[in-house]
A and B are shown apart, each in its own frame.
Chain A
Amino acid sequence: MTNFLDTATHWIEGQPDAAERRTMLDEFATTGIPKTTDEVWRYAPLEYFNLDQYVVDAPFLDHSGDALENSIATLGAVVVRTHNGVLQGVEGQLNGVTVETTQHAGSITGYEDDSFVVMNGALTPGTIELTVTPGRDIRETIVILHTVTAGAAFPRLKISIGKSASARVIEIWSGGLDSLVVPVSEYHLDENSSLNLATYQRLDLSAWYVSRTTTTLGRDARMHQSVIGMGAAYDRARNDAVFQGTGAQNELWTTYLGRGTQVHDLRSHQLHNTGRTASRLLSKGAVAEESRSIYTGLIEIERGARRTDARQTNHNLLLSPHAHADTVPNLDIRENDVTCAHASSVGPLDELQRWYLESRGVSRHDAERLMIQGFFNEMLDVLPRDVASVIEADIASQLDGVVVV
């Protein structure tokens, strides 16, 4: 790790809270990267991970934004731009929405066993905080455009939705050539608030993207989180939720398309601490060529969390005999009065659905393209139509090169 640790240590020495950061970095250096013997890293391609190929504090490269970023930016009432995790600017404003940044090390409380989060805590340039004040019903879309251009990036984001407030946020990840991107995001939903959040990861296929998000839900809070993974050599999205108040609901929809030798790695832990809470996990994706996917979802229900309703579904499309999908739904239930369900499937495109399209006059190639695109369209259906259309078109352009065998 010499190259990485040397540049990390050098960068930390210039920070005002260097001592705190140094402690975390030492902790990371001692622990090292995770092992696949750990259940939450099982199946991950860590044998190909070479931390030393990345440097910390690489100079920013120019990034003018492509068609998708420019189109999405026009649809946001507020547009937040970040570069390698550093807030670059905020365009537009909405009454009740603030965006600020703090330049401190990141907290790792609750994440001590996740060495990538520890790494993020030591090396993040600061936390970008988006706050919606209580009672504000924000109907417009808030867009966050994340750009990564070089080296290793450790972005931190915190979204706080005040009591009885609501918001809709779209996050886009772009760039990432030969980069390591380790974002840590926390979403706090106060009592009776709601957040509709979509994250579209479209990094360069050389990037390693190791993300972790945690949603905490207060009483009667409602979260809808869509996570779309198209880019990166390794696309890891761990999306957890902690239910702190009764009546809270969390919907997590994840989807991905694997090409080449990509690995999409989706993890989730839904921790139902209180009763009358509901979680819905839906993961649908497709793996083509020699790509593979991993899904592990853990639903944990504490004693006393009565009338919890937790369900998870994972469907994987295999588009090539060389593609592979691992799916492991887990339930850990310590209460009797609950409803839980899980379902998973791995298989090729539905033959009869394809024939139905063909019987309309759609060629087999186009039918398959429509069906794969359909996986994403379903997931994007919760977004505003104008935003969904832009993302759908971006995904469609990437589907053209996908071969179904």
Chain B
Amino acid sequence: MSELVITDLHCNVGDKEILRGVNLTVRSGEVHVIMGPNGCGKSTLAHALTGRPGYTVTGGSVTLDGVELLGLAPSERTRAGLFLALQHPMEVPGVRPVDMLVAAGAKRNEVEATMALEAVNVGLRPELLERFVNVDLSGGERKRAEVVQLGVLKPAFAVLDEIDSGLDVDALGAVARRLELATKEWGLGVLAITHFRRLLQELTPDVIHVMSAGRVVAEGGPELAEVLERDGYEPFKESP
């Protein structure tokens, strides 16, 4: 059983404080969902966790099984077990996914077969992964490619930043089922950022967190998603 613990996390983008004390704990096999209005800090949380340039953590702690991640390089955080699937996966021209994954620690003699299998799992044509990383892929294909990487690297925890945006209904179902299976297959802990309940129809959440103005302001079970859909975020709004 692994545990990802976020304690009083503060983060600036430029001079502006975006995260104002986030507290969260995710354990192996659990699915946590973060919902909240645009600009409340959801993506900033994802980027702060993974050390994106331009995001300055000004306070707090993030530990994975007791190991402090914030002092580690981005690659070391990932190797410690924290994987980020991006909202807008970047093109890296000239770099092949297989070489990237081998450099990330995947076994060269297994990686291509695993990639092909994972691609099929999420409805992605395997030959698209022969292209350079995310080059000439549609938005939806890039999202599925992120889940393929996750399936190859098998991290302890995955932060999914709007993995559902840009996916068609069938692809969304396939991605959600793959993630749900991963929570059982190797006990993947999921922290999913989303605006839509549709993802949660096949990826069953244990906890839903509502963010507002850089903080988690409410938590609840799956029923909270229904409340949000009915009432919107207004009742949860905090002033920055």
Enumerate chain A interface residues (CB-CB to B < 8 A).
Answer: 351-353, 355-364, 366-367, 370-371, 373-378
Contacts and interface: CB of A to CB of B under 8 A. Distances in A.
Given A359-B84, A361-B105, A374-B95, A352 B132 contact: no
B153 A361 contact: yes
Given A358-B74, A377-B96, A352 B53 contact: yes
Contacts of B99: 370
9 contacts: A352-B53, A352-B90, A357-B92, A358-B74, A361-B104, A361-B105, A362-B100, A371-B94, A374-B132
Contact of B75 (A353, A358, A373, A374): A358
Nearest to B105: A361
B86 A367 contact: no
B94 A358 contact: no
Contacts of A376: 94
A362 B90 contact: no
B192 to A, nearest CB: 17
Interface residues of B, number: 30
A370 B95 CA distance: 6
A353 B91 CA distance: 7
Contacts, number: 85
Interface in B116-153: 132-133, 149, 153
Contacts of A361: 75, 78-79, 83, 104-105, 153
Give 6 nearest A-B pairs by CB, closest first: A374-B94, A361-B104, A361-B78, A358-B74, A378-B94, A377-B94
B75 A364 contact: yes
A356 B101 CA distance: 12
B148 to A, nearest CB: 12
Contacts of A359: 50-52, 74-75, 78, 83-84, 86
B92 A374 contact: yes
Contacts of B50: 359
B73 interface: yes
B93 interface: yes
Given A352-B53, A358-B73, A375 B94 contact: yes
B1 interface: no
Interface string B97-119: 00111011100000000000000
A361 B73 CA distance: 10
Nearest to B46: A359
B221 interface: no
A402 to B, nearest CB: 15
Contact of A367 (B53, B89, B103, B149): B103
B90 A360 contact: no
A353 B90 contact: yes
B161 to A, nearest CB: 11
Interface in B45-61: 50-53
Contacts of A366: 103
Given A356-B86, A363-B75, 16 more contacts: A355-B52, A356-B89, A356-B133, A359-B50, A359-B86, A360-B83, A360-B149, A361-B75, A362-B104, A367-B103, A370-B92, A371-B95, A375-B94, A376-B94, A378-B93, A378-B132
B36 to A, nearest CB: 22
Contacts of B93: 374, 378
A82 B96 CA distance: 34
Nearest to B81: A361
Contacts of A358: 51, 73-75, 78
A356 B75 contact: no
A306 B236 CA distance: 64
A360 B53 contact: no
Most buried by B among A351, A358, A375: A358
B149 A373 contact: no
Contacts of B74: 355, 358-359
Scoring B52, B95, B101, B105 by chain A CB atoms within 10 A of each residue's CB, the highest score goes to: B95
A350 to B, nearest CB: 8
A356 B103 contact: no
B147 to A, nearest CB: 13
A371 B104 CA distance: 14
